[in-house]
A and B are shown apart, each in its own frame.
Chain A
Amino acid sequence: MRILIVDDSRIMRNIVKNTLQGLQYPAETFLEAADGDQAWSILETQEVSLLLVDWNMPGLNGLDLVKKLRATAKFQSLPIIMVTSEAAKYNVIEAVKAGVSEYLVKPVAEKSLEEKIRRVLDRRTP
Chain B
Amino acid sequence: MNIRYILPFIEAVESAFGHLFHLQPRALTPYLVRKEEILDWDISGIIGIAGEAKGVVVLSFPEALALDLTAMLTGEAKTTMDDEVTDAVGELVNIITGNAKKGLEEFRLLISLPSIVLGHHHQITWPSGPIPIVTIPFSTTRGHFSLSVGLENIIIS
Contact = CB atoms under 8 A, between A and B. Distances in A.
B19 to A, nearest CB: 4
Q: Is the interface of A mostly helix, strand, loop or mixed?
A: loop
Contacts of A57: 113
24 contacts: A8-B113, A9-B91, A11-B70, A11-B84, A11-B87, A12-B91, A14-B74, A56-B98, A57-B113, A58-B113, A84-B98, A85-B99, A86-B101, A87-B101, A88-B105, A88-B108, A89-B105, A90-B105, A106-B98, A106-B99, A107-B15, A107-B16, A107-B95, A109-B19
A88 B101 contact: yes
B105 A105 contact: no
Interface of B: 15-16, 19-20, 70, 73-74, 84, 87-88, 90-91, 94-102, 104-105, 108-109, 111, 113
B95 A91 contact: no
Contact of B102 (A58, A87, A106, A109): A87
Interface in A44-99: 56-58, 84-91
Interface residues of A, number: 22
A56 B111 contact: yes
B45 to A, nearest CB: 11
B95 A85 contact: yes
A32 to B, nearest CB: 14
A23 interface: no
B95 A106 contact: yes
A10 interface: yes
Interface in A8-36: 8-12, 14-15
Contacts of A89: 102, 105
Contacts of A56: 94, 98, 111, 113
Contacts of B113: 8, 56-58
A11 B101 contact: no
Contact of A91 (B84, B90, B94, B101): B101
A8 B97 CA distance: 17
A117 to B, nearest CB: 19
A89 B99 CA distance: 11
